[in-house]
């Protein structure tokens, strides 16, 4: 995919540190963080912890965004706003339907699937690797003051004039082209299964017999195989 930087057109901001037990920067998502539409995927939001935010930080927001989605506007997978400045960690799975793992006062906005929760990665088959920008935004306001049903794009627009710093991790995901999956399946079919072991009784039963029904020409004929 192109090296589209989702922050290239935004005001510059300081950087600080974000770490995760479930994300390795630049590496593929763990299976649990993939969409439930992918075999084995569970839509579990990643664990995040951060430190070193700029002075004056009054709240945080967390977003997960795929700039490589074939939509013309990317795809927002998660957006959390109004995380208090005293909070510096979200546990794994905080972004479930209930948001029970979120701190008091924080709320989830509907993602681009219109679900107020984390939705995992599921790039289109054969579309190449996708990048997922996992970002903690340090803001100079205690609340972004937007409706709970606002879009992540509205959150981003509102944050642009209040962002003091960003901490970024990038995860990746790729779905093989369907033809590649089919090829692997077909190759596996070419590998013959090992023959079943034969017993002495089986060997004797396979010997030709001398009895059979008379054919129309007077010869013996065996029963047709099925």
pLDDT at 152: 98
pLDDT at 184: 43
DSSP code at position 37 = T
Beta bridge partners of 49: 19, 89
In angstroms, the Cα distances linking 37 to 40, 42, 130, 175 are 8, 8, 16, 12
pTM of the model: 0.77
SS3 203: helix
Segments making up each domain of the chain, as ranges: 14-178
Is-contact 121 33, C-beta < 8 A? yes
Report DSSP letters for the chain, one per residue: -----TTTTSPP-EE-EEE-SS--TTSBPPGGGB-TTSTT---PPPPEEEE-PPTT--EEEEEEEETTSTTTT-EEEEEEEEEETT--EE-TTTTSSS-TTSPTT-EEPP-TTS-SS---B-PPTTS--EEEEEEEEEESSS-----TT--HHHHHHHHTTTEEEEEEEEEEE----HHHHHHHHHHHHHSPPPPPPPPHHHHHHTSPPS--EEPTTSSEEPPPP-
pLDDT at 5: 87
Q: Which of 18, 7, 61, 35 is nearest to 173 (CA)?
A: 35
* CATH superfamily membership of 14-178: PEBP-like (3.90.280.10)
Residue 167 pLDDT > 80: yes
Comparing 43 with 72, the larger pLDDT belongs to 43
DSSP code at position 28 = B
Cα(152)–Cα(108) distance, integer angstroms: 10
Is-contact 101 91, C-beta < 8 A? yes
For 10-52, write each residue's pLDDT tens digit: 999 999 999 999 999 999 999 999 999 889 999 999 999 999 9
């Amino acid at each position: 995919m192109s090296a589209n930087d989702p922050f290239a057109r935004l005001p510059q901001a300081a950087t600080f540190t974000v770490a995760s037990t479930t994300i390795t920067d630049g590496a593929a998502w763990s299976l649990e963080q993939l969409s439930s539409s992918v075999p084995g995927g569970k839509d579990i939001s990643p664990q995040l912890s951060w430190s070193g935010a700029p002075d004056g930080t009054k709240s945080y927001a967390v977003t997960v965004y795929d700039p490589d989605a074939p939509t013309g506007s990317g795809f927002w997978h998660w957006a959390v706003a109004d995380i208090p400045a005293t909070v510096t960690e979200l546990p794994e799975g905080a972004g479930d339907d209930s948001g029970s793992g979120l701190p008091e006062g924080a709320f989830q906005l509907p993602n681009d699937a219109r679900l107020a929760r984390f939705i995992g990665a599921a790039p289109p088959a054969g579309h190449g690797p996708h990048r997922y920008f996992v970002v903690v935004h340090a803001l100079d306001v205690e609340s972004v003051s937007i409706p709970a049903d606002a879009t992540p794009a509205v959150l981003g627009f509102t944050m642009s004039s209040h962002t003091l710093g960003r901490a970024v991790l990038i995860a990746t995901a790729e779905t093989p082209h369907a033809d590649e999956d089919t090829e692997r399946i077909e190759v596996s079919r070419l590998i013959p299964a090992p023959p079943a072991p034969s017993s002495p009784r089986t060997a004797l039963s396979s010997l030709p017999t001398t009895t059979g029904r008379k054919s129309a020409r007077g010869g013996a004929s065996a029963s047709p195989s099925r």
